[in-house]
Amino acid sequence: MSERLPLFPLGTVLFPGLVLPLHIFEERYRQLVHELLDGPEPRRFGVIAIRKGRETGVEGVSSLYEVGCTATLRETEEHGDGRFDLVTVGTQRFRLEALDESRPYLQGDVEFLDEDDGDSAEAGRAASLVAAAFRDYLKALTERDLAQVSVPDLPDDPVLLSYLVAATMIIDLPDRQGLLAEPDSLSRLTAERAMLQRETTMLRTLTARPAPDLRYAPYNPN
Protein backbone atom coordinates (compact mmCIF):
# COMPACT_ATOMS: atom_id res chain seq x y z
CA MET A 1 0.00 0.00 0.00
CA SER A 2 1.17 3.54 -0.74
CA GLU A 3 1.13 6.48 1.65
CA ARG A 4 0.95 10.23 0.99
CA LEU A 5 4.07 12.01 2.25
CA PRO A 6 5.19 15.66 2.10
CA LEU A 7 8.40 15.91 0.09
CA PHE A 8 11.53 18.02 0.52
CA PRO A 9 13.65 17.80 -2.66
CA LEU A 10 17.36 18.39 -2.04
CA GLY A 11 20.62 18.32 -3.95
CA THR A 12 21.86 15.59 -1.65
CA VAL A 13 20.95 12.05 -0.57
CA LEU A 14 19.73 11.16 2.92
CA PHE A 15 20.34 7.67 4.31
CA PRO A 16 18.51 5.86 7.14
CA GLY A 17 20.13 6.22 10.55
CA LEU A 18 22.05 9.39 9.66
CA VAL A 19 21.54 12.97 10.80
CA LEU A 20 20.57 15.78 8.41
CA PRO A 21 20.37 19.38 9.72
CA LEU A 22 18.17 21.73 7.69
CA HIS A 23 17.68 25.49 7.60
CA ILE A 24 14.12 26.31 6.51
CA PHE A 25 13.51 29.76 5.01
CA GLU A 26 11.13 29.34 2.05
CA GLU A 27 7.48 30.03 2.89
CA ARG A 28 6.25 26.72 1.45
CA TYR A 29 8.57 24.74 3.70
CA ARG A 30 7.76 26.90 6.72
CA GLN A 31 4.16 25.83 6.12
CA LEU A 32 5.26 22.20 5.90
CA VAL A 33 7.05 22.45 9.26
CA HIS A 34 4.08 24.14 10.95
CA GLU A 35 1.77 21.41 9.68
CA LEU A 36 4.13 18.71 10.91
CA LEU A 37 4.35 20.33 14.35
CA ASP A 38 0.56 20.57 14.53
CA GLY A 39 0.19 16.90 13.65
CA PRO A 40 0.92 13.65 15.49
CA GLU A 41 4.27 11.91 15.86
CA PRO A 42 6.24 10.62 14.11
CA ARG A 43 6.67 13.98 12.39
CA ARG A 44 8.29 13.00 9.16
CA PHE A 45 8.62 14.03 5.54
CA GLY A 46 10.37 12.61 2.52
CA VAL A 47 13.81 13.78 1.43
CA ILE A 48 14.42 12.95 -2.21
CA ALA A 49 17.33 13.94 -4.41
CA ILE A 50 16.87 16.25 -7.37
CA ARG A 51 17.75 14.68 -10.70
CA LYS A 52 17.25 17.91 -12.63
CA GLY A 53 16.54 21.43 -11.39
CA ARG A 54 17.32 23.42 -8.25
CA GLU A 55 16.20 23.42 -4.62
CA THR A 56 15.11 27.06 -4.78
CA GLY A 57 14.16 29.64 -7.38
CA VAL A 58 11.46 30.22 -9.93
CA GLU A 59 12.12 27.19 -12.13
CA GLY A 60 12.58 24.85 -9.19
CA VAL A 61 12.60 21.07 -9.51
CA SER A 62 11.86 19.48 -12.85
CA SER A 63 12.88 15.86 -12.16
CA LEU A 64 13.37 13.74 -9.03
CA TYR A 65 15.04 10.42 -8.38
CA GLU A 66 12.80 7.46 -7.67
CA VAL A 67 14.10 6.38 -4.25
CA GLY A 68 14.25 8.69 -1.23
CA CYS A 69 14.37 8.50 2.56
CA THR A 70 12.03 9.75 5.25
CA ALA A 71 13.40 12.39 7.63
CA THR A 72 11.98 12.40 11.17
CA LEU A 73 12.07 15.64 13.19
CA ARG A 74 14.21 15.39 16.33
CA GLU A 75 14.89 19.05 17.15
CA THR A 76 13.13 22.21 16.01
CA GLU A 77 14.14 25.82 16.62
CA GLU A 78 11.90 28.60 15.29
CA HIS A 79 13.40 32.05 14.79
CA GLY A 80 11.59 35.34 15.25
CA ASP A 81 11.36 35.95 11.50
CA GLY A 82 9.68 32.58 10.88
CA ARG A 83 12.71 30.61 9.77
CA PHE A 84 13.41 27.19 11.28
CA ASP A 85 16.53 25.23 12.12
CA LEU A 86 15.82 21.52 12.17
CA VAL A 87 17.68 18.40 13.15
CA THR A 88 16.26 15.41 11.33
CA VAL A 89 17.22 11.74 11.20
CA GLY A 90 16.82 9.47 8.20
CA THR A 91 14.46 6.66 9.06
CA GLN A 92 13.15 4.60 6.13
CA ARG A 93 13.68 4.37 2.39
CA PHE A 94 10.77 4.78 0.03
CA ARG A 95 10.01 4.55 -3.67
CA LEU A 96 8.16 7.48 -5.23
CA GLU A 97 5.12 6.29 -7.17
CA ALA A 98 3.29 9.55 -7.96
CA LEU A 99 3.62 13.29 -7.38
CA ASP A 100 0.93 15.64 -6.08
CA GLU A 101 1.50 19.33 -6.83
CA SER A 102 -1.78 20.62 -5.36
CA ARG A 103 -0.13 22.22 -2.32
CA PRO A 104 2.62 24.87 -2.08
CA TYR A 105 5.13 22.05 -1.43
CA LEU A 106 5.32 18.73 -3.25
CA GLN A 107 3.68 15.61 -1.89
CA GLY A 108 4.20 12.08 -3.08
CA ASP A 109 2.49 8.72 -2.97
CA VAL A 110 5.28 6.46 -1.75
CA GLU A 111 5.91 2.78 -1.13
CA PHE A 112 8.13 2.11 1.87
CA LEU A 113 11.04 -0.23 1.27
CA ASP A 114 12.11 -2.94 3.72
CA GLU A 115 15.63 -3.09 5.13
CA ASP A 116 17.23 -6.40 4.27
CA ASP A 117 20.71 -7.81 4.84
CA GLY A 118 20.39 -10.05 1.82
CA ASP A 119 22.32 -13.16 2.81
CA SER A 120 23.04 -12.26 6.46
CA ALA A 121 26.23 -14.34 6.73
CA GLU A 122 27.56 -12.92 3.48
CA ALA A 123 26.53 -9.42 4.57
CA GLY A 124 28.54 -9.81 7.78
CA ARG A 125 31.63 -10.84 5.84
CA ALA A 126 31.11 -8.03 3.36
CA ALA A 127 30.79 -5.54 6.23
CA SER A 128 34.18 -6.59 7.62
CA LEU A 129 35.81 -6.14 4.20
CA VAL A 130 34.15 -2.75 3.65
CA ALA A 131 35.12 -1.52 7.12
CA ALA A 132 38.77 -2.35 6.37
CA ALA A 133 38.56 -0.75 2.92
CA PHE A 134 36.89 2.35 4.39
CA ARG A 135 39.66 2.81 6.97
CA ASP A 136 42.24 2.44 4.20
CA TYR A 137 40.35 5.05 2.20
CA LEU A 138 40.34 7.49 5.14
CA LYS A 139 44.05 6.83 5.66
CA ALA A 140 44.68 7.72 2.02
CA LEU A 141 42.82 11.00 2.51
CA THR A 142 45.00 11.79 5.51
CA GLU A 143 48.21 10.85 3.67
CA ARG A 144 47.36 13.41 0.98
CA ASP A 145 46.63 16.04 3.65
CA LEU A 146 43.11 16.32 2.24
CA ALA A 147 41.47 15.65 5.59
CA GLN A 148 42.25 14.62 9.13
CA VAL A 149 39.73 11.88 9.70
CA SER A 150 39.32 9.45 12.55
CA VAL A 151 36.51 6.90 12.69
CA PRO A 152 37.57 4.53 15.47
CA ASP A 153 34.20 2.88 16.04
CA LEU A 154 32.44 1.86 12.87
CA PRO A 155 29.05 0.19 13.38
CA ASP A 156 28.99 -3.60 13.24
CA ASP A 157 25.51 -3.71 11.75
CA PRO A 158 25.86 -4.27 7.98
CA VAL A 159 22.87 -2.05 7.13
CA LEU A 160 24.02 0.95 9.18
CA LEU A 161 27.64 0.53 8.05
CA SER A 162 26.52 0.46 4.43
CA TYR A 163 24.64 3.74 4.89
CA LEU A 164 27.43 5.45 6.83
CA VAL A 165 30.01 4.60 4.16
CA ALA A 166 27.63 5.66 1.38
CA ALA A 167 27.05 9.04 3.02
CA THR A 168 30.73 9.74 3.73
CA MET A 169 32.56 8.73 0.56
CA ILE A 170 33.56 11.40 -1.96
CA ILE A 171 31.37 10.34 -4.87
CA ASP A 172 29.02 12.03 -7.28
CA LEU A 173 25.33 12.31 -6.45
CA PRO A 174 24.23 9.67 -9.01
CA ASP A 175 26.63 7.15 -7.42
CA ARG A 176 25.38 8.04 -3.94
CA GLN A 177 21.79 7.74 -5.13
CA GLY A 178 22.57 4.36 -6.66
CA LEU A 179 23.78 3.12 -3.28
CA LEU A 180 20.56 4.27 -1.60
CA ALA A 181 18.55 2.37 -4.19
CA GLU A 182 20.43 -0.94 -3.79
CA PRO A 183 17.94 -3.65 -2.77
CA ASP A 184 19.79 -4.81 0.36
CA SER A 185 22.88 -4.18 2.45
CA LEU A 186 24.88 -7.00 0.81
CA SER A 187 24.40 -5.44 -2.62
CA ARG A 188 25.23 -2.01 -1.23
CA LEU A 189 28.36 -3.21 0.57
CA THR A 190 29.55 -5.05 -2.53
CA ALA A 191 29.19 -1.88 -4.61
CA GLU A 192 30.89 0.19 -1.90
CA ARG A 193 33.90 -2.09 -1.70
CA ALA A 194 34.51 -1.62 -5.44
CA MET A 195 34.06 2.16 -5.10
CA LEU A 196 36.39 2.37 -2.10
CA GLN A 197 39.11 0.45 -3.93
CA ARG A 198 38.70 2.74 -6.94
CA GLU A 199 38.73 5.94 -4.88
CA THR A 200 41.66 4.85 -2.70
CA THR A 201 43.72 4.04 -5.82
CA MET A 202 42.89 7.46 -7.26
CA LEU A 203 43.82 9.21 -4.02
CA ARG A 204 47.22 7.54 -3.99
CA THR A 205 47.95 8.37 -7.61
CA LEU A 206 46.47 11.88 -7.86
CA THR A 207 47.32 14.94 -5.80
CA ALA A 208 44.00 16.81 -5.77
CA ARG A 209 40.68 15.53 -4.50
CA PRO A 210 37.84 17.36 -2.72
CA ALA A 211 37.38 17.02 1.02
CA PRO A 212 34.79 14.49 2.21
CA ASP A 213 31.37 15.47 3.48
CA LEU A 214 31.59 14.52 7.14
CA ARG A 215 28.31 16.09 8.29
CA TYR A 216 26.71 12.70 8.54
CA ALA A 217 26.98 10.49 11.59
CA PRO A 218 24.92 7.61 13.01
CA TYR A 219 22.09 8.98 15.14
CA ASN A 220 22.40 8.40 18.87
CA PRO A 221 19.13 9.05 20.75
CA ASN A 222 21.15 9.76 23.90
Instruction: Give percent of the chain above pLDDT 70.
Output: 85
The pLDDT, as a whole number, for residue 72 is: 98
Do residue 30 and residue 100 come from a single domain? yes
- Per the structure, the count of domains in the chain is 2
Residue 162 inside a domain? The answer is yes
Mean pLDDT value across the chain: 87
Do residue 127 and residue 173 come from a single domain? yes
pTM metric for this prediction: 0.86
User: Each residue of 128-141: pLDDT tens digit?
Assistant: 999 999 999 998 88
The pLDDT, as a whole number, for residue 62 is: 65
Please give the Cα distance from 123 to 188 (Å, whole number). Answer: 9
User: Each residue of 52-96: pLDDT tens digit?
Assistant: 866 554 355 668 999 999 999 999 999 999 999 999 999 999 999
pLDDT 10s per residue in the chain (222 long)?
789 999 999 999 999 999 999 999 999 999 999 999 999 999 999 999 999 866 554 355 668 999 999 999 999 999 999 999 999 999 999 999 999 999 999 999 999 998 877 778 899 999 999 999 999 999 888 887 656 666 668 998 999 999 999 999 989 999 999 999 999 999 999 999 999 999 999 888 875 545 545 444 454 342
Do residue 77 and residue 149 come from a single domain? no
Please give the Cα distance from 191 to 176 (Å, whole number). Answer: 11
Residue 82 inside a domain? The answer is yes
Do residue 201 and residue 145 come from a single domain? yes
Residue 214 inside a domain? The answer is no
Residue 208, classed as helix, strand or coil, is coil
Residue 180 inside a domain? The answer is yes
Which domain does 32 fall in, by range? 3-112
**End of a domain among 96, 112, 128?**
112
Residue 159 inside a domain? The answer is yes
Do residue 146 and residue 74 come from a single domain? no
The residue among 118, 33, 16, 114 whose CA lies nearest residue 68 is 16
Do residue 78 and residue 131 come from a single domain? no
